[in-house]
């Protein structure tokens, strides 16, 4: 089976940055302590999660041509922080590793920059990983800690073509993807002239705090303690794969009738988990897991999370099976496990996760032989408008976060050179396993060479979660 392969060309450019500054709320805000929920302050969320958005020059708007994106966003940020003032505070840790934000008004970190590159030089289709990202969101020394550090870091980089790049990094304990998009949407609204966000932010983290007394009533396989496997990270190969309408149609043909209607996400997740596991050639008796993030906002009946809630409101339940069962059974076996994950997430399940955090000291997710996926195709990062229209790209700057043979892949909306909309997924595997993985894709899809593989040889490996 032949492949259509696109190789991302290396791109090197220089970025000139001004000294970082702290942007504080434009008006005085309350000095108070606000506890995070027991969903927020899990061990696995205690890291900085990056995001990037690319904006084109708007040639048909004369007023926009005269505007400086740095000035516009800096001023809007100070105004937006009046409403989202906890983001201008600092995290503190108390008894039982409980996190609270002290609303000090110290501000968020902001960096102004210029790059000697045009948006067109990034290629016809913008997709991660993006070259020189460490220059587009410079890691200011001392800024990347979790406690007593700025909770939000923004760098706005002007491009030679008149466009700009908005890169950000936020402490994950403060919000999930939906919460971050809500904040950035508010920032965009105020940048375009609004006096207040259209959706007022709501804290109320007590709504997802543990019960008294805490009681874990559900099974949470994502926190099982299992032994790690050790592999040579020097042998890792990184590639991104595009799944368009052709590939999704091919996957639907593999669905057994008794499973009924399946979403594209369910199809793709089951497919990737099975192919990836087969490529690693693990002991058939070993247990493997798949975890994906489930937004629980709609799982409460009646709903308890108000519109405007910007805290973490998702969980990552796991499906567990053995290598032998996953690899030897038909595709429908993996698909059925994936579908059941979402069904297991209920209001009681969310309560049980919060209780488990208190009972077990906020354990880390299981890493060994686990594949994590996060679907950001509907998050809305590309819809954020600072006055220059929708982003040409919005979402994770890297498509994958890898650790040993555990990794998290992001499902990112994208399109191919034909203009077909689809999903790009990045994976990291040992070189031999990657060859086998590609062969598995061929064998299962059999779509006459329409499958697109985009090689990203420069994608860095970094610690997951």
Which residues are known catalytic residues? 172, 385
Distance CA 106, CA 150 (A): 8
For 149-203, the DSSP string reads S-SEEEEEEE-TTS-EEEEEEEEGGG--HHHHHHHHHHHHHHHTT-SS-SS--B-
Strand partners, 166: 53, 156
**106 phi, psi to nearest 5 deg:** -65, -25
Query: Which two structure tokens, joined as six digits, stand for 350?
Result: 């969310």
Distance CA 48, CA 151 (A): 8
Angle (deg, nearest 10), helices 431-445 and 264-280:
130
Vertex 316 angle, CA 201 and 47, to 5°: 65
Distance CA 177, CA 394 (A): 12
Give me the residue label for tokens 């997430």. Answer: 345
Q: Give, as one character, the DSSP assignment of residue 237.
A: E
Distance CA 213, CA 355 (A): 8
User: What's the full length of the chain, in residues?
Assistant: 465
Closest CA to 417 of 380, 454, 378, 382: 454
Query: Which two structure tokens, joined as six digits, stand for 402?
Result: 């890898």
Distance CA 221, CA 352 (A): 12
- Helix (H) / strand (E) element for 331: namely helix 331-344
């Amino acid at each position: 089976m032949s492949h259509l392969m696109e190789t991302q060309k290396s791109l090197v450019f220089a970025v000139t940055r001004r000294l970082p500054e702290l942007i504080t709320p434009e008006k005085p805000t309350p000095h108070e302590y606000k506890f995070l929920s027991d969903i927020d302050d899990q061990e696995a969320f205690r890291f900085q999660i990056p995001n990037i958005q690319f904006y084109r020059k708007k040639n048909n708007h004369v007023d926009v041509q005269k505007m400086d994106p740095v000035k516009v966003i800096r001023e809007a940020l100070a105004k937006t922080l009046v409403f989202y003032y906890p983001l201008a505070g600092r995290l503190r840790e108390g008894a039982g590793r409980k996190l609270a934000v002290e609303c000090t008004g110290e501000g968020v970190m902001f960096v102004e920059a210029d790059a000697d590159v045009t948006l067109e030089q990034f290629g016809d289709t913008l997709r991660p990983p993006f070259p020189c990202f460490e220059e587009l969101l410079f890691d200011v020394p001392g800024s990347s800690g979790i406690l007593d550090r700025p909770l939000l870091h923004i760098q706005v980089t002007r491009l030679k073509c008149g466009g700009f790049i908005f890169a950000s990094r936020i402490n994950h304990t403060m919000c999930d993807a939906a919460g971050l998009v809500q904040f950035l949407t508010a920032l965009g609204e105020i940048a375009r002239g609004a006096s207040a966000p259209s959706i007022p932010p709501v804290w109320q983290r007590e709504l997802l705090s543990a019960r008294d007394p805490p009681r874990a009533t559900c099974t949470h396989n994502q926190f099982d303690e299992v032994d790690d496997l050790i592999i040579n990270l020097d042998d890792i190969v990184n590639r991104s794969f595009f799944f368009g309408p052709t590939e999704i149609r091919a996957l639907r043909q593999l669905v057994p009738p008794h499973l009924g209607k399946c979403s594209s996400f369910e199809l793709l997740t089951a497919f990737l988990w099975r192919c990836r596991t087969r490529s690693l050639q693990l002991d058939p008796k070993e247990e493997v897991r798949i975890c994906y993030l489930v937004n629980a906002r709609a799982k409460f009946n009646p709903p308890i999370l108000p519109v405007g809630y910007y805290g973490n409101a998702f969980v990552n339940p796991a499906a567990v099976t053995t290598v032998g069962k996953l690899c030897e059974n038909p595709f429908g076996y993996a698909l059925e496990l994936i579908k059941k994950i979402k069904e297991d997430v209920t209001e009681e399940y969310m309560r049980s996760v919060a209780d488990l955090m208190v009972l077990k000291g906020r354990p880390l997710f299981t890493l060994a032989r686990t594949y994590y996926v996060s679907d950001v195709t509907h998050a809305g990062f590309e819809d954020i408008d600072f006055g220059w229209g929708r982003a040409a790209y919005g979402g994770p700057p890297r498509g994958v976060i890898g650790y040993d043979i555990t990794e998290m892949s992001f499902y990112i909306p994208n399109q191919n050179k034909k203009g077909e909309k689809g999903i790009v997924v990045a994976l990291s595997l040992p070189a031999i396993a990657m060859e086998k993985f590609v062969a598995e894709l061929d064998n299962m899809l059999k779509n006459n060479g329409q499958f697109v593989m985009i090689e990203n040889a420069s994608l860095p490996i970094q610690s997951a979660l």
